[in-house]
Chains A and B, each alone.
Chain A
Amino acid sequence: MKDKILNTVGKNLIPFIQIFGLYVIFHGHLSPGGGFAGGTIIGVSFILYRIIFGKEFVQNKLRFSLLIRFLTIGVFIYGVMKGYIFISGGSDLHWATPPLGIPGSIISGGFLLPLNIIVGTVVSVTMYFFYCLFEEGEI
């Protein structure tokens, strides 16, 4: 779009939205929020980006094939991690888990942080895909 005000506001606002989304994801195990909430915030920033800068411009930056790769690899890693925990717990095998760390610091809580990051990725991509699906009819 050619509108200068919209462009400038978008350019300044979108990075802050994304940083806030990352904050929510990375503090999911310490405070309210988490992967899903943070993921929706980042997804909203993608949608805003697409509305403001137009379909053709954004399509080159956020290619569908790349996003699908993020989505599927994210789900795959999530499944592997959860499966590892399920099997280790269910059969009482006590396989190694990441250290729990000091309560309150960001790197703590075992698998919680990586799982939150994956959920955030998948949710943000899915939000963006939904918007594109409604706009174009097919991805």
Chain B
Amino acid sequence: MTIIKSFPLIGVLILFLIAFIMPLIKKNSVVKFLSIASFSTCLVLFVVSLNYVIHNGSYFYKIGHFVAPYGIEFSIGIIECIMAVLFAFISLIISWYSCYSIEHDVNESKVPLYYLLINILVGSLLGIIFSNDMFNVYVFIEISNLASCGIVVVKDKKENIRAGIKYLILSCLGSGLVLMGIAFLYSMTGHLNMTFIHENLINSYMNYPQAIIITLGLFTVGIGVKSALFPLHTWLPDAHSNAPTSSSAMLSSLVLKAYIIFLIKVLYRVMGNEIISETPILFVLLALGSLGMIMGSVLAIFQKNLKRIIAYSSVAQIGYIYFAIGLGTELGFVIAIYHIIGHAITKSALFLCSGSIIEKTGIKEIANLKGVGKEMPYTLSLFLISSLSLVGIPLLPGFVSKWYLAIESIGVNKLYLIVIILVSSLLNAVYYLPISIHGFFNEEQSSSKLYKSKEKSVKELMPITILVIAMLYVGVNSEGIINLIKTTFV
């Protein structure tokens, strides 16, 4: 069937097309239905194409009538399809959750605009993942940049606009650096298609020893700003903690990940192992990743606001992903992808839980949230399970990736890296567990509170429950997922 090959393109198109119907519709409930319908259609399409790719191997899909160096290509492989399924699934769940709570954060008249931005954002992120053309990726990066700033400032409060402007300026800087990197590659090779750049570069990279390092530096810093690599993360806590709940879940679990996938593509598809092994880029990523793992957690300990804690924890978890890339081995790469999956699901569940706690109680500081477990027992239990995953309790995805990272650190003969992983896990426990412990077991505060008085209804808790079940599945079935990712190397 040839039409199955075009399913990824159809998915991206559906998201963009349905986005532009939304402003025409007066009723907000219809807009919400359209958003959910588009994401579920995408999920079905991507599951079918994942199945197709597993059985028939990866392929290049030309967009329009022109073949590769002249036209644009999508490259569709197993990793791209796994990421697409993940993105469609998480955005489906988040938009389902936001159906019940978006009016709490966003003005009623802006709801169609909000869902338009969400659809465009997810569409452009899928574009970044699928595209095999550097400039096409840049265009999608710019779209996602504007859309993600849009879903931060849509709340229309003072601190939102400040965080949004900060985010806009820094991520424009990031995309400028990426564009400069693309320009370097273009002037070295004369191509924009990743496959052709690689073929050209592999023959001629000896002639440009400095330019290669500069290009890699530009890409690392540019994408590092956008994906909150440790010293460049300063915009993240403001933007993620002030945005509406569903936006912060979307930003933290999806937007950061798409840029990391692009960096992986630059490192392995454009440059290739041979070139990057001659530059210190992997060591830099490893060092910055380790710094982020420690410092992100240390900074999170000092925060008082619940959402800011989770936002800083994102910095630490992004550190894990860069750490895994920086190991530079096959298993390290696999774990980077696996951690992207695990963290995306876990972090969106955490943000949705904390959003519902803040929405129902109206309290943002953790000091005042003691005893909340009596009022909202189910929500806090879901929060506890997801935070246990990030701390690294067996069976949950956080543990699996930490375990393999430790094994791989022994494999590359860098035993001191295990210390960093252990310290980071302990620091995670230091700031995540007290929230749940104080929430459940605080006698003085909870005696004055009514049992389940502020609990959300079952249908509002369903999206978070499904996320937690998915997280358990990813943790328990880690063997299968890791083997599936490994098949890309054969």
Contacts and interface: CB of A to CB of B under 8 A. Distances in A.
Interface stretch (A55-63, A84-92, A100-108): A84-92
Given A79-B16, A87-B6, A87-B9, A72 B63 contact: no
B217 interface: no
A69 B63 CA distance: 29
Nearest to B14: A83
Contact of B6 (A73, A80, A90): A90
Contacts of A87: 6, 9-10
A73 B25 CA distance: 12
B63 A91 contact: no
Interface residues of A, number: 17
A93 B61 CA distance: 13
B9 A72 contact: no
B13 A83 contact: yes
Contact of B17 (A68, A79, A85): A79
Interface in A8-28: none
Contacts of B23: 68, 72
A69 B21 CA distance: 9
A89 B62 contact: yes
Nearest to B16: A79
Given A72-B20, A76-B17, A86 B2 contact: no
A75 B20 contact: yes
Interface in B114-165: none
Q: Which of B2, B20, B61, B66 has the most CB of A within 10 A?
A: B20
B9 A90 contact: yes
Nearest to B5: A91
B24 A92 contact: no
Contacts, number: 50
Interface string B1-43: 0110110011001001100110110000000000000000000
Interface in B261-279: none
A20 to B, nearest CB: 29
A79 B2 contact: no
Q: How large is the interface on B (under 10, 10 to 19, 20 to 34, 35 or more residues)?
A: 10 to 19
Contacts of B6: 86-87, 90-91
A89 B21 CA distance: 26
Contacts of A91: 2-3, 5-6
A91 B8 CA distance: 12
A103 B284 CA distance: 57
A86 B63 contact: yes
Given A76-B20, A76-B21, A90 B13 contact: no
Given A86-B63, A89-B62, A79 B9 contact: no
A80 B63 contact: no
Contact of B64 (A72, A73, A85, A93): A85
A139 to B, nearest CB: 11
Contact of B9 (A68, A69, A75, A86): A86
A120 B66 CA distance: 26
B2 A83 contact: no
A68 B3 CA distance: 34
Nearest to A69: B24
Given A69-B24, A72-B21, A76-B17, 19 more contacts: A72-B23, A76-B21, A79-B16, A79-B20, A80-B17, A83-B10, A85-B65, A86-B13, A86-B64, A87-B6, A87-B10, A89-B62, A90-B5, A90-B6, A90-B9, A90-B61, A90-B63, A91-B6, A93-B2
Shortest Cβ-Cβ A-B pairs, 5 listed: A89-B65, A83-B13, A91-B2, A89-B64, A75-B20
23 contacts: A72-B21, A73-B24, A79-B13, A79-B17, A80-B17, A83-B10, A83-B17, A85-B64, A85-B65, A86-B6, A86-B13, A86-B64, A87-B6, A89-B62, A89-B63, A89-B65, A90-B62, A90-B63, A90-B64, A91-B3, A91-B5, A92-B2, A93-B3
